[in-house]
Chains A and B, each alone.
Chain A
Amino acid sequence: MKILISNGRIVDPASGRDERGDVAIAAGRIVALGRVPGDFQPGRVIDAAGHVVAPGLVDLATRLREPGHEHEGMLESELNAAAAGGVTSLVCLPDTDPPLDEPGLVEMLKFRARKLSLARVFPLGALTRGLAGEALTEMAELTEAGCVGFSQAEVAVADTQVLLRALQYAATYRYTVWLRPQDGALGKGVAASGALATRLGLSGVPVAAETIALHRIFELVRATGAPVHLCRISSAEGVELVRGAKAQGLPVTADVSINSLHLTDVDIGFFNSAMRVTPPLRGQRDRDALRAALADGTLDALVSDHTPVTPDAKHLPFGEAEPGASGLELLLGLTLRWGEELKLPLVRSLARVTSDPVRVLGDALGSLASSAGRLVEGGVADLCVFDPAARAPLRGQQLRSQGKSTPFDFEYTGFELPGRVRATLVAGTVAYEAR
């Protein structure tokens, strides 16, 4: 169907464009941008007056719980959550049950996701079989099946020799390895080391868990030339190391989660298990450093780190509660909130969830690399239309995700989230529309 999005504020971070105009869509592509030819005959008009028309969001860290939870229909609920959050492309982690370590599993996931016609799903394959950190997976086969990179999710590779080999092998094919920098032994605690953890008697994860892992990764990148994406940096010291590595020209990129960007360990309050996330929430100084680094580009992308967790898994003492929080439906609002607080123009804040994550993905996106995460005539029509002035308190129970736990529930934070998604289009089809 031909769709005309009329009279919106077109914001395209990739080109820097921010102006009022129309967008014409036909056959899944943007056919005109700004001024639409008079002979365009839309089957449907979306009046976007007062709304922003932006590229659909690209989220580099999500968990869809499939394979593992097919019977609960989690893929469908989580992709609906993505659409409701304006997310049109997402990268999912391989820590499923079983892990994504075989091409058949990846093909099935891609197939089932395609059938739903919601967000585009880009899986990360397991770097090692069963994520056990011992034997390499068939990376070339997995790439053919649709993987865009390789990851250990939250599982550290204990054996440095294995990590070296994995990076060498991945570098052979120029595959990007996605690593969350956390030392396995030092990372066993449940909260960030510091005054709060000491006071509450919670086991701590020191900053050194992150910095030691980063040093190790950088040495291996230097030795192998493998491109590495560093997932969810959490500390001021980590930010400094990433900045230094980039200055030296190492082929690394990095992201930060919405949780670490907006919260600190003090938000744990009286053992609120909604605040139990990985990496653990750190201090004010860390949060400030992460915000500044995301603004100056040291950190390339902002991610939701979407992890649906059931109430039963959260209604436990803090240390026993399952880490994780829903995030797909919060990514836009928390991007806008960060941008407002740092007084960034919309083109700059939105870049971190549109064009920049696409740059991180690079060639792994294939033909989409030139048009996903941006608005360009002839490019795919993945769009998000939202009202930037709307403000609403967030209630976990209202999320479409099956995981209702979020640390940003109004009950905990007391703040309202900016931005309300009016419509999300994937390949020119309406995937979500607000009532």
Chain B
Amino acid sequence: MLSRRHPQLNRHGELIHLLTIEGLPREVVHHILDTAGTFLSVNDRDVKKVPLLRGKSVFNLFFENSTRTRTTFEIAAKRLSADVINLDIARSSTAKGESLLDTIANLSAMHADMFVVRHGESGAPFLIAQHCAPHVHVVNAGDGRHAHPTQGLLDMYTIRHYKKDFTGLTVAVVGDIVHSRVARSDIHALSILGVPEIRAVGPKTLVPGDLREMGVRVCHDMAEGIRDADVVIMLRLQNERMSGAMLPSAGEFFKSYGLTPQKLELARPDCIVMHPGPINRGVEIDSAVADGAHSVILPQVTFGIAVRMAVMSIIAGNEA
């Protein structure tokens, strides 16, 4: 039944995988954020471990290279007392011609309990969730341009931490929206949590008008985009898009859309600046902003571990 029930929910409507934020009930999002809050204190303890996933095996399957996200998942799983196996698939089995589902079948035979998956193709974690053994849980750690739900959730945790209430906020997402799985997950999460004004800001090559269908206000002018914003989320500009048919140069992009202290003055005085990292200083964000008083980029990383602990412990507690 591919089409009837959402593949990340069981028949009681409980979360058994985390594949996307789209369609999650608001209470589920808040439950994840609340649970993350209880884990934050674990991270401050001398013994940074809780036994919730003791005896469970978490496989990090990264079909696309990533150091940062993989590391935070690894830390989160270890703090839940799970055994963590990192597989750098980009350089192993698929290079030998093994199909994605064969890889999954083999790893399932090694009694994996959870797969944390990053893949270059949109939708790959859905395919895995639909074909793995029923007891196995899947966490999407980024698929193509589609979704990066744990990043979206940690961004919501960060916003809630600093702003408390979502229902009066103006949030601007700036940069390469069209290729960004982070932007999509953020936009879905902000909509679910009731943010009244979500803006997508960038040139027409990176912010196409179709995005309006996701409920955002499309702004091609940076000043219009960040004026009176409570939250500015800057996206990373991938190297391969800095010059070519999408953009003429990183320099011209920075001039129009790079976040500088001067531009930031248009936002609300208590505005926070976020970035999923790794940042390109001088391309999408000026160092003075990245390191400045409005920046919450490093707290995002800290919250990210707690949010990933919350997601893994919640889905592991629900049965298919």
Within 8 Å CB of A270, what residues of B? Answer: 2-3, 6-7, 123, 126
B279 an interface residue at 8 Å Cβ cutoff?
A: no
B209 to chain A, nearest CB (A): 10
**In the bound complex, CA of A374 to CA of B119 (Å):** 53
> How many residue pairs, one in A and one in B, have C-beta atoms under 8 Å apart?
81
| B127 and A198 within 8 A (CB) | no
A317 an interface residue at 8 Å Cβ cutoff?
A: yes
| B144 and A319 within 8 A (CB) | yes
Give the interface segment out of A131-139, A170-178, A199-207, A393-401: A199-207
Within 8 Å CB of A312, what residues of B? Answer: 99
Our pick among B2, B122, B131, B211 for the contact of A412 (Cβ within 8 Å) is B2
Within 8 Å CB of A318, what residues of B? Answer: 121-123
B260 to chain A, nearest CB (A): 29
Q: Are A317 and B208 also in contact (CB < 8 A) when A312-B99, A411-B1, A411-B2 are?
A: no
Q: Are A317 and B7 also in contact (CB < 8 A) when A199-B214, A201-B146, A271-B127 are?
A: no
**In the bound complex, CA of A198 to CA of B180 (Å):** 11
Q: Which of B22, B123, B126, B131 has the most CB of A within 10 A?
A: B123
- CB neighbors of B among A269-318 (8 A): 269-273, 312, 315-318
| A200 and B101 within 8 A (CB) | no
| B123 and A199 within 8 A (CB) | no
A195 an interface residue at 8 Å Cβ cutoff?
A: yes
**In the bound complex, CA of A89 to CA of B283 (Å):** 61
B124 an interface residue at 8 Å Cβ cutoff?
A: yes
Within 8 Å CB of B199, what residues of A? Answer: none
B184 an interface residue at 8 Å Cβ cutoff?
A: yes
B293 an interface residue at 8 Å Cβ cutoff?
A: no
| B1 and A201 within 8 A (CB) | no
Within 8 Å CB of A198, what residues of B? Answer: 178, 208, 210-211, 213-214
Q: Convert A188-216 into 0s and 1s, putting 1 for each residue whose CB lies closer than 8 angstroms to a CB of B.
A: 00000111011111101000000000000
A56 to chain B, nearest CB (A): 34
A406 to chain B, nearest CB (A): 13
Q: Are A412 and B3 also in contact (CB < 8 A) when A198-B213, A271-B122 are?
A: yes
A236 to chain B, nearest CB (A): 17
- Nearest residue (CB) in A for B181 is A201
B240 to chain A, nearest CB (A): 15
| B1 and A271 within 8 A (CB) | no
A317 to chain B, nearest CB (A): 4
Our pick among A195, A271, A272, A316 for the contact of B99 (Cβ within 8 Å) is A316
**In the bound complex, CA of A265 to CA of B285 (Å):** 37
Q: Are A315 and B122 also in contact (CB < 8 A) when A195-B210, A412-B3 are?
A: no
| B122 and A317 within 8 A (CB) | yes
Our pick among B6, B124, B131, B184 for the contact of A199 (Cβ within 8 Å) is B184
B145 an interface residue at 8 Å Cβ cutoff?
A: yes
B136 an interface residue at 8 Å Cβ cutoff?
A: no
| B122 and A202 within 8 A (CB) | yes
Q: Convert A21-34 into 0s and 1s, putting 1 for each residue whose CB lies closer than 8 angstroms to a CB of B.
A: 00000000000000
**In the bound complex, CA of A195 to CA of B143 (Å):** 18
| A201 and B3 within 8 A (CB) | no
- CB neighbors of A among B160-204 (8 A): 178, 181, 184
Residues of A within 8 A of B (CB): 193-195, 197-202, 204, 267, 269-273, 312, 315-320, 411-412
20 contacts between A and B (CB under 8 A): A194-B213, A195-B214, A198-B178, A198-B208, A198-B211, A200-B122, A201-B143, A201-B181, A269-B3, A270-B6, A271-B123, A315-B99, A315-B100, A316-B127, A318-B122, A318-B123, A319-B144, A411-B2, A411-B3, A412-B2
Extra inter-chain contacts (14) besides given A201-B147, A317-B122, A320-B121, CB under 8 Å: A193-B210, A195-B214, A198-B178, A198-B213, A199-B213, A200-B146, A201-B145, A202-B144, A269-B2, A270-B6, A315-B99, A316-B99, A317-B121, A319-B123
Q: Which 9 A-B pairs have the closest CB atoms?
A: A271-B123, A201-B145, A201-B146, A317-B121, A195-B213, A317-B124, A201-B122, A198-B210, A269-B3
